[in-house]
Structure 1
Amino acid sequence: MSSSPAPSGSGPVTDPAPLSLCAREPRVPADRLVAEMVPPPRFDSVRFSTYIPDPNQPSQTEAVQVLEGFAASLGQEAGGSGKRRLFGFGRAPRKAAPAGPRGVYLDGGYGVGKTHLLASLWHATPAEPARKAFGTFVELTNLVGALGFQQTVQTLSGHRLLCIDEFELDDPGDTVLVSTLLGKLVDAGVALAATSNTLPGKLGEGRFAAADFMREIQGLSAHFRALRIDGEDYRHRGLPEAPPPYSDEEVTKAAHATEGASLDAFSPLLDHLARVHPSRYGALTDGIKAVCLTGVRPVPDQSTALRLVVLADRLYDREVPVLASGLPFDQLFSDEMLNGGYRKKYFRAISRLTALARDAAKLTNSR
């Protein structure tokens, strides 16, 4: 970004300093949390027609066809036909919730396009945006924390569809909370769709994630049809490896040269995340065009790691490239973390940060 000409009689005008995430302490009103329950910017324009199934994975084509039928069935409900079509998604007018499945669960590994398909379902469902909601499991629990349980039930009960991305099975308390919430919404006639991840080491074990999901949601399992989506991570399919980390000087130079970029040292940023509620991490990145980090190192503990995962999700949703010095992103988490109960989250964060690191290569011409 070039500097403006200096006014007559003044000294030279230099480029403004980069932004800093550590300097931000956003406050997010509850109504914004509700209004933002739509597919993130990365998935604004996705549709079933833009999903490119792997020809070697027929389950991907099948998933598209089933979800298109699901969306169409919700449109039939809206028309008041009362007919029960695709696996019982019809709705009895203003009576008890209909019997049979009211939702779909997309079961598969990292990067097979589950979020793309979930967002496509949201877009294809014939309803005003205010009557369909899309959010991650964490965003849903944050909404309950902001509104309270009863108000969340009341707010979402008028929706035709609730899409939950990255359903978490590793926190028993949150899982029970969300399961109870979904039970109330099903009783109100809300259709559901959810995704989660099969663990990398479990991809050969069939319905591992689906079985876990159905067990954890207990009484709600009858309301979901599980769709298996096989395939490899598209973020790495046929693409080069993530670029190695840059030097501190390269990262700093790129931050000063990129309008809207932030520049932070990694350790102070981790400390700052502990002072900002994860529900505000999206607001923390408002207006940021690129994130530049110096001194990336392994995260010191589980709590810090989980906060970093949420930030990585928000940056990925908003397509914010990440340019970094220090260690590569696949060395962020210890072997103990990657083999522990939260490993799904850590592998997802590595995958997404790797994709954002590739996107950041355009910020510097030094290689």
Structure 2
Amino acid sequence: MSSTPASPAGDSPLSLCARAPRVPADRLVAELVPPPRFDAVRFAGYVPDPGQPSQQEAVEVLGTFAAGLGGAHASGAGKRRRFGGRGRRAAPAGPRGVYLDGGYGVGKTHLLASLWHAAPAAPEQKAFGTFVELTNLVGALGFQQTVRTLGGHQLLCIDEFELDDPGDTVLVSSLLGRLVDSGVALAATSNTLPGRLGEGRFAAADFLREIQGLAAHFRTLRIDGEDYRHRGLPEAPRPHTDAEVTRAAYATEGASLDDFPHLLDHLSRVHPSRYGALTDGLRAVCLTDVGPVPDQATALRLVVLADRLYDREVPVLASGLPFDRLFGEEMLRGGYRKKYLRALSRLTSLAREGKVLVNG
């Protein structure tokens, strides 16, 4: 493991390894909105690939879905149920949600955020968060309080829906069932069909009832296409030298500078639900000595960090190994393959944005 090279004169950059954020429950609730990268997106800004008719179909279906939302949850009655739990309606017949399935980089998060913006409800009556953020909210508030908090909402959007362990399967199945019973509409994105969640990660067959129960809440929309982040663009930028990365970190206000192996070790001591807070105020992330990720647990933590950096539009500048060699062949053949490919796609995009820190 190499150390960060000698630094030039000037103010020291920030360090992710020096941060150990604590996130209060009220912040978790307040941040259930589309992240900065998707704050301004709308259906009109999504450009379907003419060669992929499923993309245009998804825009039309989601637009119709948004227009059909409303009713009691857009009124004061919905707010009263949120705190008092009274006046619960019968669950609507048929699927109460839409599920966007497709490869990474086809614009699923763009469409999900557009749906959130199009839903005819006040911001406090609709929620948008990743699967990790949703499960952490339950951990912070408790199951019953989470049901009360979200039960008066018109819409719950869940990005990056994945089931990585049996506990999450039972928890989310129960939570979404209760929310649908309260009249909450659901929308989710994933790279895995709802009936196959958990496949390759744990003994999903043992939890088939819960998985099938989750699938019953959704109408699946398959979105085909290639990764828009790399469509027609040059190859990922080559890594820079340690000296270039260090100089750029010192020259960029709000940049962090960390040795990659030390950062991976630090991530093991910070809950993934806090990775967003870990990046608060950062304008760039500079990493030296990037190398292969040693194991699956570390790799999954890095995936979450890559997602939060991408959501928050934080460019990355790195030395060492190219990002496309972070995950070994065994990892890329396993049950988390699609997560790793998404992380590589997003890190490559952020690395392109980070080149300007060196090239000016």
Same fold (TM over 0.5): yes
Q: Classify 1:300/1:306 alpha carbon distance in 2 versus 1 (closer, same or farther; 3 Å).
A: same
**Residues 161-211 of structure 1, C-alpha deviations (whole Å, 9 max, x = no match):** 00001110332321221111100100110000011015xxxxxxxxxx354
CA distance in 2, matches of 1:142, 1:76: 29
CA distance in 2, matches of 1:22, 1:79: 43
**Residues 268-288 of structure 1, C-alpha deviations (whole Å, 9 max, x = no match):** 111111111111111110000
CA distance in 1, matches of 2:217, 2:273: 28
Superposed CA RMSD in Å reads: 1.8
Identity %: 79
Partner of 1:55: 50
- Corresponding position: 1:272 with 2:266: yes
Partner of 1:345: 339
Partner of 2:132: 138
**Residues 244-292 of structure 1, C-alpha deviations (whole Å, 9 max, x = no match):** 1000000001101111000000011111111111111111100000000
Q: 1:22 aligns with which of 3, 14, 17?
A: 17
Alpha-carbon distance, 1:224 to partner = 1.1
CA distance in 2, matches of 1:153, 1:343: 32
Partner of 1:98: 92
Amino acid at match of 1:349: A
Partner of 1:212: 196
- Written as runs of structure 1 = structure 2, the 5 A alignment for 1:64-79 is 64-75=59-70
Q: 5+ residue gaps in structure 1?
A: 1-13, 81-92, 199-208
- Corresponding position: 1:43 with 2:38: yes
Alpha-carbon distance, 1:69 to partner = 0.4
What SS class does the counterpart of residue 228 from structure 2 fall into?
coil
Deviates more, 1:167-176 or 1:142-151: 167-176
Q: 5+ residue gaps in structure 2?
A: 1-8, 76-86, 199-207
2:128–2:156 Cα contact (<8 Å) kept = yes
Give the paired residue count.
332
- Written as runs of structure 1 = structure 2, the 5 A alignment for 1:84-163 is 94-163=88-157
2:137–2:146 Cα contact (<8 Å) kept = yes
What SS class does the counterpart of residue 97 from structure 1 fall into?
coil
CA distance in 2, matches of 1:25, 1:224: 37
Deviates more, 1:221-230 or 1:107-116: 221-230
CA distance in 2, matches of 1:279, 1:359: 25
Alpha-carbon distance, 1:221 to partner = 2.5
Alpha-carbon distance, 1:94 to partner = 4.6
Structure with higher Rg: it is 1
1:337–1:343 Cα contact (<8 Å) kept = yes
What SS class does the counterpart of residue 230 from structure 2 fall into?
coil
Deviates more, 1:210-219 or 1:305-314: 210-219
Alpha-carbon distance, 1:219 to partner = 1.9
Which structure's relative contact order is higher, taking Cα pairs within 8 Å and 6+ residues apart?
2
TM-score by length of 2: 0.89
